[in-house]
C-alpha cells in the first residue's frame, strides 16, 4: 500500500515537473525568437540605437507581446510578423518606458486588404490598417502586406503599422483628434495646432512632400507626419525643421536612421 502511494507521488511529481517545464519552455521560445539578429535585420530604428537601448527595445517588444494577441485572418502569422507589430507599437512610445496600450487587446492581421465592411477611411489607405471602434473596440486591423512593406522600404516615409499605433497614442486621452495630450505638454498645444493648420493648407494646395492623405483631418495629419518622422527623420528635419521640432516635443525622441 505504502509502495503504491509512493509510486503515485513520484509519478504525479514527474507529471507536474514536466508540465512546468513545458510552460517555461514556451516562454523561453517566445523570448528566444525575439533576438538581436532578427531585430537588426528588419528594423532600421533598432539598428540606430546603442547597445543598452537595443536591450530595452527587445524587452519592450516581449512585454507588448505578453498582453496583446496577434491573430491572422485567413493568413498565417509568423514570428517576424509578431515582432514587426510589436516594434511598430514600441517605436512611437520608446521614450515612455511605462507606456501601456491599455486601449488594445488584439491585432488582426489580414493578408492584404480588408473586406468591404471595414472600408471606413478614404483613398486606398483605408484598406491597409485601422483602429477599431464600437464592437471592434480594443482591436486593430492591419494588412500583413502593408506591415511588412513598412519595414522593407525604409525611404518612402510610409509605415502603416506605426501610423495605426500613433492613432492609438492619440486616442489614449479619449479623443482621436490629432492632439496627443498624454505626450505633448500643454504649452505646445497652440503651436502644434498652428503647425497642423499651416501645413494642411500647403498640402491642400499641392505644395508639400507630405502624404496628402494627411489632409483628411487633424488625426490623419498627426499619424501621417509621425510616419515621416520615424521613417525619414533626416529628410523631415531638413525639409520641415519646425515640424520636426514639434514632433520631437511630442515623442521626446530624435530618431536616427541607418538604412
Instruction: Tell me the C-alpha distance between 121 and 247, whole Å.
Output: 24
Q: Could you give the string, one character per residue 39-58, with x where binding to Zn ion holds by CB under 5 A and - elsewhere?
A: --------------------
- Look at residue 191 and give its three-state secondary structure: helix
User: What's the closest the beta carbon of residue 28 comes to Zn ion, in angstroms?
Assistant: 37
Instruction: Tell me the C-alpha distance between 9 and 199, whole Å.
Output: 73
Of 58 and 170, the one with the shorter C-beta distance to Zn ion is: 170
- Look at residue 208 and give its three-state secondary structure: coil
Phi, psi (deg, nearest 5) at residue 32: -65, -30
User: What's the closest the beta carbon of residue 130 comes to Zn ion, in angstroms?
Assistant: 7
Distances (CA, A) of 224 to 87, 196, 217: 18, 11, 11
Cβ-count burial 2-24 (b if 16+ within 10 Å, e if not): eeeeeeeeeeeeeeeeeeeeeee
Of 179 and 223, the one with the shorter C-beta distance to Zn ion is: 223
The number of residues that bind Zn ion (CB under 5 A) is 2
Q: Could you give the string, one character per residue 187-226, with x where binding to Zn ion holds by CB under 5 A and - elsewhere?
A: ---------------------------------x--x---
Of 108 and 223, the one with the shorter C-beta distance to Zn ion is: 223
Of 47 and 139, the one with the shorter C-beta distance to Zn ion is: 139
Of 19 and 120, the one with the shorter C-beta distance to Zn ion is: 120
Instruction: Tell me the C-alpha distance between 71 and 81, whole Å.
Output: 10
User: What's the closest the beta carbon of residue 163 comes to Zn ion, in angstroms?
Assistant: 6
Question: What residue ranges bind Zn ion (CB under 5 A)?
Answer: 220, 223
Amino acid at each position: 500500500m505504502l509502495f503504491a502511494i509512493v509510486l503515485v507521488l513520484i509519478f504525479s511529481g514527474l507529471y507536474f515537473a514536466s508540465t512546468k517545464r513545458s510552460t517555461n519552455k514556451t516562454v523561453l521560445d517566445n523570448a528566444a525568437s525575439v533576438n538581436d539578429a532578427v531585430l537588426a535585420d528588419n528594423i532600421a530604428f533598432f539598428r540606430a540605437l546603442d547597445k543598452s537601448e537595443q536591450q530595452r527595445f527587445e524587452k519592450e517588444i516581449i512585454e507588448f507581446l505578453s498582453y496583446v494577441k496577434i491573430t491572422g485572418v485567413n493568413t498565417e502569422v509568423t514570428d517576424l510578423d509578431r515582432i514587426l507589430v510589436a516594434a511598430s507599437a514600441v517605436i512611437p512610445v520608446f521614450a515612455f518606458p511605462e507606456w501601456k496600450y491599455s486601449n488594445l487587446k488584439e491585432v488582426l492581421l489580414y493578408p492584404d486588404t480588408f473586406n468591404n465592411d471595414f472600408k471606413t477611411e478614404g483613398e486606398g489607405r483605408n484598406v491597409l490598417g485601422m483602429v477599431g471602434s464600437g464592437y471592434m473596440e480594443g482591436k486593430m486591423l492591419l494588412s500583413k502586406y502593408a506591415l511588412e512593406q513598412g519595414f522593407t522600404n525604409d525611404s518612402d516615409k510610409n509605415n502603416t503599422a506605426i501610423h495605426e499605433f500613433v492613432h492609438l497614442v492619440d486616442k489614449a486621452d479619449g479623443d482621436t483628434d490629432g492632439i496627443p495630450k498624454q505626450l505633448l505638454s500643454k504649452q505646445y498645444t497652440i503651436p502644434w495646432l498652428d503647425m497642423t493648420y499651416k501645413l494642411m493648407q500647403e498640402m491642400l494646395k499641392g505644395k508639400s512632400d507630405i502624404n496628402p492623405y494627411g489632409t483628411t483631418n487633424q488625426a490623419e495629419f498627426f499619424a501621417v507626419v509621425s510616419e515621416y518622422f520615424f521613417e525619414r527623420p533626416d529628410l523631415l528635419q531638413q525639409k520641415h525643421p519646425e515640424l520636426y521640432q514639434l514632433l520631437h516635443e511630442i515623442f521626446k525622441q530624435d530618431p536616427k536612421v541607418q538604412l
